[in-house]
Amino acid sequence: MKILLLSYSLTTSSPALRLKKALESRGEQVTLLTMTATEGVAAQKGVAVITPSHLYRMYEYVSIRLKNAIFRFIYRNKKPSYFSVGNLGIPYRYLRKYVLEADVVNLHWVTGFINYDDIEKIRRDAKKVIWTLHDCWPFTGGCHHDEGCNGFEKDCGRCPLLNSDNVHDITHYIMKRSKKSFAACLDDAKDPKGNAGARVKRKLKEINIVAPGTWMAARVSRSSLFGNSRCSVIPNALDCNIFKPLDRLSLREEYNIPEDARVILTGAVHMDSPYKGFEKLKEIIKKLPRDIFLLTFGRVDDLADVCDGINLRQFGYIDDESEMARIYNLADVFVLPSLHENLPTVVMESMACGIPVTAFDVGSVRDMVSHKKDGYVAACYDTDDFAEGIKWCMGSGQGIAGKMADKIRLFADYSIVGNKYIDAYSE
């Protein structure tokens, strides 16, 4: 089977790249298209970085700044959040050859890579289309996380993230445009028989949905765009031959961390995201004993103001899976203070390494963490309960490390996820 994956950007931890490896391990022929990738990923076989023309990049540059200027003027009270209009996309001529050659086209995080017109063309040309939803944007009026708003169940409008009272605000028009792209049929101005001015109906391929977790699947079922679409729940893939329990004592000696230290790990690619709970993290740190070791990875803002007396070590951004597995294995507990999530990759990676997780009850955390069995699911945004969860994990982790690793291997290992995707592609 020839499989085409599309994702706007790629790092070693990107779900689309891991899925590519899972499918290739089954012997499938996979091409992964992207607009940007880290150096090591871009050099991998089967990864194609699409470089648009200089003219397009100028258009993109102007469009983004114009949109931002209009947004700041019209929606000056917009809450901190990610919002995408969906008008930007690489010219379809860069993609069409790949789409026509593939048996299946599997979209991933494609905001800014393809636009609504491109979606219509992909549905016209592709043999089969699957969309793996890594956030809520594909079925909302522009937001990436709905934050409790149910506007996506109808036509959006009066968007709380934009602080808008207008039923016909931009989210309403984005939703209207989305419904056109996802309709079963579209008017086509070209009559194949050549009748001037005639319009015909052309049927487009349905889009089947993959939700990485039950939380996303529930939202898909309620959405006005995808509520009637076929939806499979398949977790993101993980290489459990890399993310696994390692010799913690020897690692701590190598990283100069005392054998008996109480070590807390946290991190994300972008901790400055409004969804990652950085302010909650600072509140939680204030409630912790001062004799702990706090390790962080990713782009994390300065924590010095709340870490007085705490041993703080910040590893920065890491694009090496083996190194990440070693860092997980240094810890007694991983903490995820996110306010909004889908199926958080860091939870999966940590548990695969035998490290229990404390997290707020968001997204599909409970798909992986069983409360007070192999981790702690704190009441949403309750930092006192979160701090208690850290204590519980520190006291319970060593006894359940092997069970956690086995659980994630059965849940998300390449072999498991690869087989489930082939089944979804074949339906």
Assign 3-class secondary structure to 275-320: CCCHHHHHHHHHCCCCCCEEEEEEECCCCHHHCCCCEEEECCCCCC
Task: Answer for the pair 1, 425: CB distance below 8 angstroms, yes or no.
Answer: yes
Task: Answer for the pair 338, 277: CB distance below 8 angstroms, yes or no.
Answer: yes
Q: How many CA atoms lie within 13 A of 123 on its CB side?
A: 21
* Predicted confidence (pLDDT) per residue in 327-347, tens digit: 999 999 999 999 999 999 999
Percentage of residues in the chain having pLDDT higher than 90: 71
* Predicted confidence (pLDDT) per residue in 301-318, tens digit: 777 777 778 888 999 999
Taking CA atoms, 164 is separated from 64, 174, 318, 405, in Å, by 21, 15, 39, 46
* Predicted confidence (pLDDT) per residue in 12-70, tens digit: 999 999 999 999 999 999 999 999 999 999 999 999 999 888 887 888 788 888 877 88
Name the architecture of domain 2-233. 3-Layer(aba) Sandwich (3.40)
DSSP letters, 354-415, are T--EEEES-TTGGGTPPBTTTEEEEPTT-HHHHHHHHHHHHHHHHHHHHHHHHHHHHHHBHH
Taking CA atoms, 418 is separated from 23, 97, 424, in Å, by 5, 25, 10
pLDDT for 200 beyond 90? no
37 - beta bridge partners?
Answer: 10
Which of 147, 137, 136, 143 is CA-nearest to residue 157? 143
pLDDT for residue 189: 46
Structure tokens at 202: 């052309």
Planar angle of CA 113, 117, 121, nearest 5 degrees: 95
- What confidence tier does 9 reach under pLDDT thresholds 50, 70, 90? very high
Secondary structure (3-state) at 200? strand
Taking CA atoms, 90 is separated from 35, 52, 111, 137, in Å, by 9, 7, 10, 18
* Predicted confidence (pLDDT) per residue in 258-294, tens digit: 999 999 999 988 887 888 998 899 899 999 888 899 9
If one compares 395 and 31, the residue with the highest pLDDT of the two is 31
Report the DSSP pairing between strands 357-360 and 375-378. Answer: parallel
CA distance 82 to 236: 22
Secondary structure (3-state) at 31? strand
Planar angle of CA 45, 47, 48, nearest 5 degrees: 125
Task: Answer for the pair 374, 404: CB distance below 8 angstroms, yes or no.
Answer: yes
pLDDT for residue 397: 66
Secondary structure (3-state) at 127? coil
Domain locations in the chain? 2-233, 248-412
What are φ and ψ of residue 280, in 5° steps? -65, -40
Name the architecture of domain 248-412. 3-Layer(aba) Sandwich (3.40)
Q: Mean pLDDT throughout 159-182?
A: 92
- What is the pTM (predicted TM-score) of this model? 0.92
* Residue owning tokens 């910040």: 314
CA distance 153 to 227: 9
Q: Mean pLDDT throughout 222-231?
A: 94
pLDDT for 202 beyond 70? no
CA distance 130 to 113: 16
CA distance 161 to 141: 11
CA torsion 194→200→205→206, rounded to 10°? 170
Give me Rg for the CA atoms of the chain. 23
* Predicted confidence (pLDDT) per residue in 355-376, tens digit: 999 999 999 999 999 999 999 9
pLDDT for residue 118: 92
Q: Mean pLDDT throughout 203-226?
A: 94
